[in-house]
Amino acid sequence: MKAMDGNRPFYFKDCALIAIATGVRAQTLVEFRDKLAAIPPACIFYHFWASHLDSAIEHYEYQNDFSKWCHLELHDDFLAERLDLLNPAEYKDVESLRADIIEIIEGRLDEVDAIPFSKRENQFHFIRSTIVVFNTSYEISEPRELLALLPQLSRSSIFYHFIDSKRRTPEAINDFSAWLRDFNGLYASLIEQLDSIDSYYLSLTDLKQKLIDLFKEYFKV
Protein backbone atom coordinates (compact mmCIF):
# COMPACT_ATOMS: atom_id res chain seq x y z
CA MET A 1 0.00 0.00 0.00
CA LYS A 2 1.34 3.46 -0.90
CA ALA A 3 2.02 6.08 1.71
CA MET A 4 -0.52 8.89 1.90
CA ASP A 5 0.00 12.63 2.37
CA GLY A 6 3.76 12.25 1.98
CA ASN A 7 4.15 10.09 5.11
CA ARG A 8 6.53 7.18 4.86
CA PRO A 9 5.02 3.70 5.17
CA PHE A 10 5.79 1.49 8.15
CA TYR A 11 7.60 -1.70 7.17
CA PHE A 12 7.33 -4.47 9.74
CA LYS A 13 10.30 -6.61 10.59
CA ASP A 14 10.84 -9.72 12.68
CA CYS A 15 13.91 -10.82 14.58
CA ALA A 16 15.75 -13.51 16.47
CA LEU A 17 18.01 -12.84 19.45
CA ILE A 18 21.07 -15.06 19.17
CA ALA A 19 22.89 -15.98 22.38
CA ILE A 20 26.70 -16.14 22.16
CA ALA A 21 28.88 -17.49 24.97
CA THR A 22 31.63 -15.09 26.03
CA GLY A 23 33.64 -17.50 28.16
CA VAL A 24 33.52 -14.93 30.95
CA ARG A 25 32.44 -16.34 34.30
CA ALA A 26 32.17 -15.21 37.91
CA GLN A 27 32.04 -17.22 41.10
CA THR A 28 32.31 -14.54 43.78
CA LEU A 29 30.49 -11.25 44.05
CA VAL A 30 33.79 -9.38 43.62
CA GLU A 31 34.46 -11.27 40.38
CA PHE A 32 30.90 -10.56 39.30
CA ARG A 33 31.37 -6.82 39.84
CA ASP A 34 34.72 -6.75 38.06
CA LYS A 35 33.48 -8.72 35.05
CA LEU A 36 30.35 -6.56 34.83
CA ALA A 37 32.56 -3.50 34.42
CA ALA A 38 34.22 -4.98 31.33
CA ILE A 39 31.58 -7.02 29.49
CA PRO A 40 30.13 -5.71 26.21
CA PRO A 41 26.85 -3.75 26.41
CA ALA A 42 25.17 -6.58 24.49
CA CYS A 43 25.72 -8.82 27.53
CA ILE A 44 23.75 -6.53 29.79
CA PHE A 45 20.97 -6.26 27.21
CA TYR A 46 20.81 -10.04 26.95
CA HIS A 47 20.65 -10.71 30.69
CA PHE A 48 17.79 -8.24 31.16
CA TRP A 49 15.71 -8.89 28.04
CA ALA A 50 16.36 -12.30 26.46
CA SER A 51 13.96 -14.21 28.69
CA HIS A 52 11.08 -12.18 27.21
CA LEU A 53 11.56 -14.01 23.92
CA ASP A 54 11.58 -17.48 25.46
CA SER A 55 7.99 -18.54 25.98
CA ALA A 56 9.09 -21.78 27.65
CA ILE A 57 11.36 -20.21 30.25
CA GLU A 58 10.52 -20.72 33.89
CA HIS A 59 9.25 -17.49 35.41
CA TYR A 60 11.17 -16.86 38.60
CA GLU A 61 10.38 -14.40 41.31
CA TYR A 62 13.16 -12.18 39.98
CA GLN A 63 13.13 -10.53 36.55
CA ASN A 64 16.73 -10.34 35.31
CA ASP A 65 19.49 -12.96 35.19
CA PHE A 66 21.68 -11.04 37.63
CA SER A 67 19.10 -10.92 40.39
CA LYS A 68 18.18 -14.58 39.76
CA TRP A 69 21.79 -15.67 40.22
CA CYS A 70 22.16 -13.66 43.40
CA HIS A 71 19.02 -15.28 44.74
CA LEU A 72 19.59 -18.86 43.60
CA GLU A 73 23.38 -19.22 43.85
CA LEU A 74 24.69 -16.53 46.18
CA HIS A 75 21.64 -16.88 48.45
CA ASP A 76 21.68 -13.11 48.90
CA ASP A 77 18.08 -11.96 48.64
CA PHE A 78 18.93 -8.43 49.79
CA LEU A 79 21.13 -7.95 46.74
CA ALA A 80 18.75 -9.85 44.46
CA GLU A 81 15.88 -7.58 45.42
CA ARG A 82 17.91 -4.44 44.84
CA LEU A 83 19.02 -5.60 41.40
CA ASP A 84 15.48 -6.68 40.59
CA LEU A 85 14.26 -3.10 41.07
CA LEU A 86 16.32 -1.99 38.07
CA ASN A 87 14.11 -1.42 35.04
CA PRO A 88 16.21 -1.24 31.84
CA ALA A 89 13.34 0.45 30.00
CA GLU A 90 13.86 3.52 32.20
CA TYR A 91 17.48 3.98 31.11
CA LYS A 92 18.59 6.06 28.15
CA ASP A 93 21.57 3.79 27.50
CA VAL A 94 23.16 0.58 28.72
CA GLU A 95 26.15 2.32 30.28
CA SER A 96 23.92 4.18 32.74
CA LEU A 97 22.32 0.86 33.67
CA ARG A 98 25.73 -0.77 34.06
CA ALA A 99 26.86 2.02 36.40
CA ASP A 100 23.83 1.51 38.65
CA ILE A 101 24.32 -2.27 38.75
CA ILE A 102 27.93 -1.85 39.84
CA GLU A 103 27.00 0.79 42.40
CA ILE A 104 24.43 -1.56 43.96
CA ILE A 105 26.93 -4.42 44.11
CA GLU A 106 29.63 -2.23 45.64
CA GLY A 107 27.14 -1.02 48.23
CA ARG A 108 26.34 -4.60 49.12
CA LEU A 109 30.05 -5.50 49.39
CA ASP A 110 30.44 -2.69 51.91
CA GLU A 111 27.67 -4.24 54.02
CA VAL A 112 28.76 -7.87 54.21
CA ASP A 113 31.54 -9.38 56.33
CA ALA A 114 32.24 -12.25 53.94
CA ILE A 115 32.23 -12.06 50.14
CA PRO A 116 29.27 -14.07 48.77
CA PHE A 117 30.23 -16.88 46.40
CA SER A 118 28.58 -19.67 44.44
CA LYS A 119 29.57 -23.26 43.97
CA ARG A 120 32.03 -23.70 41.11
CA GLU A 121 29.44 -25.50 38.99
CA ASN A 122 26.99 -22.63 39.50
CA GLN A 123 29.17 -19.73 38.40
CA PHE A 124 27.54 -16.93 36.47
CA HIS A 125 28.19 -17.30 32.74
CA PHE A 126 28.03 -14.03 30.85
CA ILE A 127 26.23 -14.29 27.52
CA ARG A 128 26.16 -11.65 24.85
CA SER A 129 23.53 -11.31 22.17
CA THR A 130 23.31 -10.35 18.56
CA ILE A 131 20.04 -9.68 16.80
CA VAL A 132 19.20 -11.09 13.39
CA VAL A 133 16.54 -9.05 11.60
CA PHE A 134 14.14 -10.35 8.94
CA ASN A 135 11.91 -8.48 6.53
CA THR A 136 8.22 -9.36 6.50
CA SER A 137 5.49 -8.82 3.93
CA TYR A 138 3.61 -6.48 6.26
CA GLU A 139 3.42 -2.79 5.40
CA ILE A 140 1.00 -0.03 6.39
CA SER A 141 0.54 3.60 5.46
CA GLU A 142 -1.95 4.80 8.07
CA PRO A 143 -1.96 4.20 11.85
CA ARG A 144 -5.52 2.85 11.82
CA GLU A 145 -4.26 -0.13 9.79
CA LEU A 146 -2.46 -1.33 12.91
CA LEU A 147 -5.83 -2.48 14.24
CA ALA A 148 -6.00 -5.31 11.71
CA LEU A 149 -2.29 -6.05 11.62
CA LEU A 150 -1.25 -6.16 15.27
CA PRO A 151 -3.01 -9.49 16.02
CA GLN A 152 -1.03 -11.09 13.19
CA LEU A 153 2.40 -9.99 14.40
CA SER A 154 4.71 -12.48 16.09
CA ARG A 155 5.99 -11.94 19.62
CA SER A 156 9.49 -11.40 18.21
CA SER A 157 8.21 -8.69 15.87
CA ILE A 158 6.68 -6.92 18.88
CA PHE A 159 10.04 -7.30 20.64
CA TYR A 160 11.89 -5.75 17.70
CA HIS A 161 9.59 -2.78 17.24
CA PHE A 162 8.81 -2.00 20.86
CA ILE A 163 11.83 -3.11 22.89
CA ASP A 164 14.91 -3.43 20.69
CA SER A 165 13.98 -0.15 19.00
CA LYS A 166 14.89 1.75 22.15
CA ARG A 167 18.55 0.95 21.64
CA ARG A 168 18.35 1.64 17.87
CA THR A 169 16.56 4.99 17.75
CA PRO A 170 18.35 8.23 18.70
CA GLU A 171 15.39 9.19 20.91
CA ALA A 172 15.34 5.73 22.58
CA ILE A 173 11.65 5.23 21.76
CA ASN A 174 9.57 2.47 20.20
CA ASP A 175 9.27 2.29 16.41
CA PHE A 176 5.53 2.99 16.45
CA SER A 177 5.97 6.30 18.26
CA ALA A 178 8.88 7.24 15.98
CA TRP A 179 6.68 6.63 12.92
CA LEU A 180 3.64 8.42 14.34
CA ARG A 181 5.73 11.56 14.82
CA ASP A 182 5.74 11.93 11.01
CA PHE A 183 2.05 12.83 11.08
CA ASN A 184 2.61 16.44 12.17
CA GLY A 185 1.28 16.10 15.71
CA LEU A 186 -1.96 14.42 14.69
CA TYR A 187 -1.30 11.44 16.97
CA ALA A 188 0.39 13.21 19.88
CA SER A 189 -1.92 11.68 22.49
CA LEU A 190 -1.46 8.18 21.03
CA ILE A 191 2.31 8.60 21.14
CA GLU A 192 2.06 9.68 24.77
CA GLN A 193 0.09 6.54 25.62
CA LEU A 194 2.54 4.29 23.77
CA ASP A 195 5.52 5.89 25.49
CA SER A 196 3.92 5.36 28.90
CA ILE A 197 3.80 1.56 28.52
CA ASP A 198 6.32 -0.17 30.78
CA SER A 199 7.33 -3.09 28.57
CA TYR A 200 9.80 -4.66 31.02
CA TYR A 201 7.26 -6.08 33.44
CA LEU A 202 4.99 -7.41 30.69
CA SER A 203 5.37 -10.64 28.78
CA LEU A 204 5.44 -10.15 25.02
CA THR A 205 2.00 -11.75 24.83
CA ASP A 206 0.66 -9.26 27.36
CA LEU A 207 2.47 -6.38 25.65
CA LYS A 208 0.93 -7.33 22.32
CA GLN A 209 -2.56 -7.44 23.86
CA LYS A 210 -1.96 -4.09 25.57
CA LEU A 211 -1.07 -2.55 22.21
CA ILE A 212 -4.14 -4.07 20.57
CA ASP A 213 -6.38 -2.73 23.35
CA LEU A 214 -4.76 0.71 23.18
CA PHE A 215 -5.32 1.05 19.43
CA LYS A 216 -8.89 -0.23 19.72
CA GLU A 217 -9.64 2.33 22.40
CA TYR A 218 -7.92 5.14 20.53
CA PHE A 219 -9.78 4.49 17.28
CA LYS A 220 -13.02 3.66 19.14
CA VAL A 221 -13.42 0.21 17.68
Q: How confident is the model at residue 22 (pLDDT cuts 50, 70, 90)?
A: very high
Structural contact between residues 134 and 23, judged by C-beta atoms closer than 8 angstroms = no
pLDDT digit string, tens, across residues 42-56: 999 999 999 888 765
Structural contact between residues 129 and 19, judged by C-beta atoms closer than 8 angstroms = yes
Sign of CA dihedral 99, 100, 103, 109: negative
CB < 8 Å & 24+ apart, contacts of 97-101: 97/44, 97/48, 98/36, 98/37, 98/41, 98/44, 101/36, 101/44, 101/66
Total-model pTM: 0.88
pLDDT at 171: 85
Mean pLDDT calculated for residue range 51-62: 70
Residues 6+ apart with CB under 8 A from 92: 172
pLDDT at 1: 39
Q: How confident is the model at residue 167 (pLDDT cuts 50, 70, 90)?
A: confident
